[in-house]
């Protein structure tokens, strides 16, 4: 097994369990103690896991208003995020104007856009860069970025100038990465992200919310908007979401599950 796949498997396990021991990882991945300890040390140094006695543990929840760096978040639940992004991209048709929010799952959408003729408005540097690479093979993409202040941990533009420019655009779809939800409302990590998301949602016909199952009941600082019939939620199928599913359906939003 390649190291990246092993690291991702450890992180996926920690999403659903409190800890993973060295012995357990050795059995699971048929790897030596030295290899597993190097993997554990890498995850701990990156802030993706916490140190325990001869084990790694699920890290403490991030403080409200603070999001882990993009480079850390993109390592977690990669199979789930790709499956969610693939389904979300399936809503698009030639000629669509779309908003794509900043986030690791929305970023995954770029891979599945193919040769679609699209006009994409995004606040995310990572999304814009990947779209620009795709444009080498797909000349039908137009990329629009508002101005603003660059948020260093996520490489997302924010501020009054960003919000003002977003107000001038209208789209068929908005694709929003979810920081957290209680099944009735969408939450954002801070007021700057929340402001941009509100504008994208208000200026689009419908909104697709992309979330992996770990985002249910994840603490986030700002309530952005209540869910209703304008929203489609795409998430991975997981037993922990049964309660959320009932709440979402009562709100009028559409809920779609995907298999990683």
* Domain spans of the chain, in order of start: 3-57, 70-258
| pTM exceeds 0.85, yes or no | no
Q: Which of 35-44, 62-71, 205-214, 246-255 has the lowest mean pLDDT?
A: 62-71
Q: How far apart are CA 219 and CA 46, in angstroms?
A: 21
Distance between CA atoms of 89 and 167, rounded to whole angstroms? Answer: 24
Q: Which of the listed CATH numbers 3.30.720.200, 3.40.630.10, 3.30.70.3000, 3.40.50.1360 matches domain 70-258?
A: 3.40.50.1360
| pLDDT class of 247 with cuts at 50, 70, 90 | very high
Return the percentage of the chain with pLDDT > 90, whole number: 63
- pLDDT for 201 equals 97
DSSP string, 40-87: HHHHHHTTSSEEETTEEEPPPPPPTT----HHHHTTSSHHHHHHHHHH
Render 131-180 in DSSP notation, one character per residue. HHHHTTT-TTEEEE----EEETTTTEEESHHHHHHHTT--EEEEEEE-SE
pLDDT digits (tens, 9 = 90+) for 161-183: 898 999 999 999 999 999 899 99
Res 185: pLDDT? 94
Q: Does domain 3-57 have CATH number 1.10.10?
A: yes
71 CB-near residues (< 8 Å, 6+ apart)? none
């Amino acid at each position: 097994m390649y190291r990246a796949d092993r690291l991702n498997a450890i992180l996926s396990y920690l999403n659903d369990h409190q800890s993973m021991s060295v012995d357990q990882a050795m059995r699971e991945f048929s790897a030596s103690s030295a290899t597993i300890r190097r993997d554990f040390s890498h995850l701990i140094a990156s802030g993706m896991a916490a140190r325990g006695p001869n084990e790694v543990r699920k890290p403490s929840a991030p403080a409200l208003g603070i999001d882990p760096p993009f480079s850390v978040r993109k390592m977690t639940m990669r199979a789930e995020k790709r499956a969610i992004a693939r389904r979300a991209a399936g809503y698009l048709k030639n000629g669509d104007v779309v908003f794509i929010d900043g986030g690791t799952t929305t970023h995954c959408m770029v891979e599945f856009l193919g040769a679609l003729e699209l006009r994409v408005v995004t606040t995310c540097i990572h999304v814009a860069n990947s779209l620009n690479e795709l444009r080498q093979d797909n000349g039908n993409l137009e990329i629009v970025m508002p101005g603003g202040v660059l948020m260093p941990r996520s490489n997302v533009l924010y501020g009054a100038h960003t919000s003002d420019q977003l107000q001038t655009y209208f789209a068929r779809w908005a694709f929003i990465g979810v920081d957290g939800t209680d099944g009735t409302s969408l939450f954002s990590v801070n007021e700057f992200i929340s402001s941009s998301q509100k504008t994208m949602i208000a200026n689009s016909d419908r909104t697709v919310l992309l979330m992996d199952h770990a985002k249910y009941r994840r603490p986030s600082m700002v309530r952005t908007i209540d869910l209703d019939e304008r929203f489609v939620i795409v998430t991975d199928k997981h037993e922990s979401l049964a309660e959320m599913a009932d709440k979402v359906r009562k709100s009028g939003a559409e809920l779609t599950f995907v298999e990683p």
